[in-house]
């Protein structure tokens, strides 16, 4: 099993270990599409406020994943994926800081 996978890995070394022209092109196309979608929605006022906000945030996160997978090759890192772990921890901290700030500052009007 392991021999099979190592043979397979050898045969497609160029494509799989560090990305290929194909994967970069797919990533580029996807990120353009994911950029155009929220722009079209916002500039033409296609949706109501909450739905527009959701579209903007979802396409942004999708674009983050596209860049991480197709451009930064997060899936092809060495065995213990310390970079992925650090990134997840960073993401948790950022979400806590941003959501926590918005939440706590929403009490500003109550206090005044």
Partner 1 sequence: MAQHIVSPEVHEHHTQEQESLKTAGFWLFLVSDVLLFGTLFAVYVVLVGHTNGGPTGKELFEIPIFVASTFILLTSSFTSGIAVLQMQANKLKGTIFWLVMTLLLGGAFLFLEIEEFMTMVHEGANIGTSAFLSAFFTLVGTHGIHVTMGIFWCIGLILQLRKRGITTVTKRKITNFSLYWHFLDVIWIFLLSVVYLMGVM
Q: Which is nearer to partner 1, 9 or 91 (CB)?
A: 91
User: How near is the Cβ of 42 to partner 1 at its closest, in Å?
Assistant: 5
| Pair 45, 55: CB distance under 8 Å | no
Tokens of 37: 């979608």
Q: Which is nearer to partner 1, 3 or 44 (CB)?
A: 44
- Interacting residue ranges for partner 1, rule: CB under 8 A: 14, 18-21, 24, 27-28, 31-32, 35, 38-39, 42-43, 49, 52-53, 56-57, 59-60, 63-64, 67-68, 71-72, 78, 82-83, 86-87, 89-91, 93-94, 97-98, 100-102, 105
Report the alpha-carbon distance of residue 77 to residue 79 in Å, rounded.
Answer: 7
* Residue in the block written with tokens 């800081």: 97
Q: Which is nearer to partner 1, 102 or 111 (CB)?
A: 102
- Biggest CA–CA distance in the chain, Å, is 69
| Pair 37, 55: CB distance under 8 Å | yes
């Amino acid at each position: 099993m392991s021999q099979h996978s190592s043979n397979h890995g050898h045969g497609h070394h160029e494509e799989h270990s560090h990305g290929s022209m194909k994967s970069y092109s797919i990533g580029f196309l996807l990120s353009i599409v994911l950029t155009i979608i929220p722009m079209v929605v916002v500039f033409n006022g296609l949706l109501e406020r909450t739905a527009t906000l959701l579209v903007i945030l979802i396409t942004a996160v999708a674009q983050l994943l596209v860049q991480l997978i197709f451009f930064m090759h997060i899936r092809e890192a060495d065995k213990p994926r310390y970079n992925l772990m650090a990134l997840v921890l960073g993401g948790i901290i950022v979400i806590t800081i941003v959501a926590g700030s918005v939440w706590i500052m929403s009490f500003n009007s109550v206090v005044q």
